[in-house]
């Protein structure tokens, strides 16, 4: 009995290690998308860029992410999950170096676009790999590692931005070796990008990919380390549910009568709603947003760092409960909480008097209430739609279509992210913060009904039973 228990512990530890290595892609996903937060104003000044070009510098990387996500599944199915991770790590590294040495706004946008391709690929490969290498009783918690890695990446990026900006005096001031502080912000991504590639080279290939390639002895070896027991029976079960006669194709996502399979539409719906609630407005524009309502640059960056910390704490809550309570209850609670908190912010910003620059002036307790509502909103997103979306996308599709379906859903998520991030500045300029948060409130309310009517619980199910 003791030997069996020790073996289970050994298997669990091994699975956590390889899932953690894959989740480094999520860390870079979060880091890469958030590191620009502290550099937005400095970029505008350094390259004499107008608001349109500045917005493109922030958001075009997201279109790169959509492209990377769309093709990542095909690459992962053809060459394997691990090789796709290594390619992503190379792109992350080149993008970090290039963004820091950019000579103008257009080559900066190119380097960010390259990083976006890597972010998109990581957003598909990590959840697929983690789901395919996790025992069913741990899959929710291990799948949540992806979101934990994302929010830790966001937090570390914001922390780096904060310390570099404070040490230099501002993001525009010279830092080490007389080089502008904002350039160093991007270069801080180089070490984790290299580490991701090294970690990817040390983990095994997904057993479900190996079975699909006819490499069953290798799959048996990996499964023995992951779950132990009768691995040959498991291989036979997997064999029945993977595509072996040819590579999976996007046409596999279509019904015979035409149109996407209903499960793919549901995956797209989850992805779109995760973005339409406006979470990335907080992470891409928060330092600018808080400065617009009266906070200093230092205080705005401090608030942004605090928000990042809140996001980490709440993701840990999700990891603790996603396999106990299930996916659907967490999504429902999150939708209710986001609707209330976003509605509060919409009300405060929509009714606040405007200053000479046309920005809301938060007087009295309204500033504190807005700050509290913003962080409660992040809390509600952090234990629900943040991690659970990635858990569901990694597990809800069957073995035949997983990588392809995840690619489509994740690509649509990045398109939605682009739409929300790009539309926020003009909505802010022409309609005000109240209107922007009113739209996100509406999306949060819709997300509640989407979960109630379309999401089925997947807690405890084997991937072969999906």
Residue ranges of domains in the chain, CATH in brackets: 10-203 (1.20.1250.20), 249-465 (1.20.1250.20)
Separation in Å, CA 213 to CA 30, 121, 219, 285, 319: 32, 21, 10, 44, 32
Share of the chain above pLDDT 70, in %: 88
Q: Provide, for the chain, the percentages of residues in helix, strand and coil under a 3-state DSSP scheme, each rounded to the nearest 5.
A: 80, 0, 20
**By three-state DSSP, how is residue 261 classified?**
coil
Mean pLDDT, residues 311-332: 82
Confidence of residue 190 (pLDDT cuts 50, 70, 90): very high
Give the closest residue to 153 by CA, choosing from 67, 62, 39, 25.
Answer: 25
Mean pLDDT, residues 209-236: 80
Cite the DSSP H helix spans in 80-180. Answer: 81-101, 105-132, 139-168
Mean pLDDT, residues 384-411: 82
According to the model, what pLDDT value does residue 286 have?
A: 63
Mean pLDDT, residues 207-211: 83
- Main-chain dihedrals φ then ψ at residue 378, nearest 5 degrees: -60, -40
Range in 72-76, 135-139, 370-374, 413-417 with the lowest mean pLDDT? 135-139
Give the closest residue to 116 by CA, choosing from 172, 161, 72, 52.
Answer: 72
Q: At what angle do helices 262-276 and 433-454 cross, to 10 degrees?
A: 150
Could you read off the pLDDT of 84-96 as tens digits, one per residue? 999 999 999 999 9
- pLDDT surpassing 80 at residue 371: no
According to the model, what pLDDT value does residue 335 have?
A: 96
According to the model, what pLDDT value does residue 337 have?
A: 95
- pLDDT surpassing 80 at residue 359: no
According to the model, what pLDDT value does residue 360 have?
A: 63
More confident residue, 439 or 9: 439
More confident residue, 448 or 150: 448
- pLDDT surpassing 60 at residue 247: no
Task: Enter the pTM of the model.
Answer: 0.75
Give the closest residue to 336 by CA, choosing from 269, 391, 281, 383.
Answer: 383
According to the model, what pLDDT value does residue 1 have?
A: 46
Cβ-based neighbours of 161, under 8 Å, separated by 6 or more: 35, 37, 38, 39, 171, 185, 301
- pLDDT surpassing 70 at residue 126: yes
Could you read off the pLDDT of 278-299 as tens digits, one per residue? 887 776 666 666 665 566 767 7
According to the model, what pLDDT value does residue 446 have?
A: 96
Separation in Å, CA 277 to CA 9, 159, 341: 39, 24, 11
Confidence of residue 245 (pLDDT cuts 50, 70, 90): very low
Mean pLDDT, residues 3-32: 77
- pLDDT surpassing 80 at residue 329: yes
Confidence of residue 342 (pLDDT cuts 50, 70, 90): very high
CB 28 within 8 A of CB 189: yes
What is the overall mean pLDDT for the chain? 81
Rounded Cα distance between 336 and 51, Å, is 35
What does the angle CA 444 – CA 130 – CA 25 come to, to the nearest 5 degrees? Answer: 75
Give the closest residue to 263 by CA, choosing from 140, 412, 405.
Answer: 405
Rounded Cα distance between 196 and 4, Å, is 33
Mean pLDDT, residues 241-260: 67
According to the model, what pLDDT value does residue 218 have?
A: 86
């Amino acid at each position: 009995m003791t030997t069996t228990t020790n073996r289970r512990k050994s298997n669990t530890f091994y699975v956590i290690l390889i899932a953690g290595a894959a989740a480094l892609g999520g860390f870079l996903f979060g880091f890469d998308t958030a590191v620009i937060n502290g550099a937005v104003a400095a970029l505008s000044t350094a390259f004499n860029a107008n608001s349109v070009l500045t917005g493109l510098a922030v958001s075009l990387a997201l279109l790169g992410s959509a492209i990377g996500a769309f093709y990542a599944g095909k690459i992962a199915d053809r060459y394997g999950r691990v090789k796709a991770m290594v390619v992503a790590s190379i792109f992350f590294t080149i993008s970090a170096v290039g963004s820091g040495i950019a000579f103008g706004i257009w080559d900066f946008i190119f380097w960010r676009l390259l990083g976006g391709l890597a972010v998109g690929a990581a957003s598909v490969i990590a959840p697929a790999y983690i789901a395919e290498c996790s025992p069913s009783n741990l899959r929710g918690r291990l799948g949540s590692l992806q979101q934990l890695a994302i929010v830790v990446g966001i937090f570390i990026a914001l922390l780096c931005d904060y310390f570099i900006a404070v040490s230099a005096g501002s993001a525009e001031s010279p830092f080490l070796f007389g080089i502008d502080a904002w350039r160093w912000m991007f270069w801080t991504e180089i070490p984790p990008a290299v580490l991701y590639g090294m970690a990817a080279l040390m983990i095994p290939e997904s057993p479900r990919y190996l079975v699909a390639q006819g490499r069953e002895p290798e799959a048996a070896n990996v499964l023995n380390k992951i779950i132990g027991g009768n691995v040959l029976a498991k291989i036979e079960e997997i064999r029945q549910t993977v595509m072996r006669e040819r590579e999976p194709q996007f046409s596999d996502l279509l019904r015979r009568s035409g149109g996407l399979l209903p499960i793919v539409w549901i995956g797209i719906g989850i992805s779109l709603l995760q973005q339409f609630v406006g979470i990335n407005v907080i992470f891409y524009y928060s330092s600018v947003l808080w400065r617009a309502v009266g906070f200093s640059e230092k205080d705005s960056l401090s608030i942004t760092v605090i928000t990042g910390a809140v996001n980490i704490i709440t993701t840990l809550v999700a990891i603790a409960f996603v396999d106990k309570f299930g996916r659907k209850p967490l999504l429902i609670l999150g939708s209710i909480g986001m609707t209330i908190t976003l509605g509060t912010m919409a009300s405060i910003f929509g009714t606040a008097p405007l200053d000479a620059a046309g920005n809301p002036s938060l007087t009295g307790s309204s500033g504190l209430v807005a700050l509290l509502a913003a962080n409660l909103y992040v809390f509600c997103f952090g234990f629900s739609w943040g991690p659970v979306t990635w858990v569901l996308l990694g597990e809800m599709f069957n073995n035949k279509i997983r990588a392809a379906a995840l690619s489509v859903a994740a690509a649509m998520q990045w398109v939605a992210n682009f739409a929300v991030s790009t539309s926020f500045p003009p909505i802010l300029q022409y309609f005000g913060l109240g209107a922007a948060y009113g739209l996100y409130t509406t999306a949060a309310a819709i997300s509640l009904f989407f979960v109630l009517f379309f999401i089925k619980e997947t807690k405890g199910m084997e991937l072969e039973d999906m």
